[in-house]
Amino acid sequence: MTPDHSAAPSPTHLRRAAFLDRDGVINIDHGYVWRIADFQFVPGVVTAAAELAQAGYALVVVTNQAGIGRGMYGEDDFDRLTAWMIEQFAQGGVPIAGVYHCPHHPTLAQGDFRRACSCRKPAPGMLLDAARDLDIRLSDSVMFGDKCDDMRAAQAAGVGLRVYLGKDGHAAPADACDAAGAGLRFASLAAAVSDPGLRAQLRLAPSPPDLASAHKAVLPPGA
């Protein structure tokens, strides 16, 4: 259900969000993942997300999905996988506030999907839509992504903190991406949320658990 925004919320009632890219951050990026059978969580991601949720962050997924526009899978396939993913997070005690996706591509998509748009990262459209829909204060929010385009989108949207993660949780990113202010770099969401310095910035409790090992207990069987 779309929230009623007939009356704009007071700035004091806006909430902070943790924006998450999907492929490479939440799940292993096997390339255009749209089947449940191909969806494999990055180790520690559910437990790390739970910590962010417990600290008051609205968890919002923002993901480019040009595979839809290119005809590799449909919106119904994406919706089916998204509903399953949200349920897996819920079983781990993690509420997902919203999932935003962009099906467009300026050159490779088909039909109406083939266009330049304001939603495909590095454009900030998905984050701006989420801020409007979910009453989010972008300046007090954080973006976790494994591509420089994630960082650029967050910077363009006015997201206050941008955390650059390694693809699939293997190692911290090596490319510069300095122009997007991506100075904070970690191998994975679990590694980022375990870091004492970042925890202080995110206003998390000072003593992190072992997120990578705890992940095994939190994920539902088969996830």
pLDDT of amino acid 100:
98
In a domain? residue 109: yes
In a domain? residue 172: yes
- Residue 10 tokens, joined: 């007071």
CATH assignment at residue 66: 3.40.50.1000
Structural domain boundaries, residue 115: 14-204
In a domain? residue 2: no
pLDDT of amino acid 1:
36
Residues 26 and 39: their CA atoms lie apart, in Å, by 9
Residues 145 and 142: their CA atoms lie apart, in Å, by 10
pLDDT of amino acid 121:
98
SS (HEC) of the chain? CCCCCCCCCCHHHCECEEEECCECCCECCCCCCCCHHHCCECCCHHHHHHHHHHCCCEEEEEEECHHHHCCCCCHHHHHHHHHHHHHHHHHCCCCEEEEEEECCECCCCCHHHECCCCCCCCCCHHHHHHHHHHCECHHHCEEEECCHHHHHHHHHHCCCEEEEECHHHCCCCCCCCHHHCCCEEECCHHHHHHCHHHHHHHCCCCCCCCHHHHHHHHCCCCC
In a domain? residue 214: no
In a domain? residue 102: yes
Domain count, the chain: 1
In whole angstroms, what separates CA 82 from the centre of its chain? 13
For residues 186-199, one letter each, b for 16 or more C-beta atoms within 10 angstroms of the residue's C-beta and e for the rest, the string is: bbbbbbbbbbeebb
Are 18 and 59 within 8 A, CB to CB?
A: yes
Please list the rounded mean pLDDT of every run of 10 residues in the chain (223 residues). 43 88 98 97 98 97 98 98 98 97 96 96 98 98 96 96 96 83 90 96 75 42 38
In a domain? residue 71: yes
In a domain? residue 138: yes
pLDDT of amino acid 5:
41
pTM: 0.88
In a domain? residue 28: yes
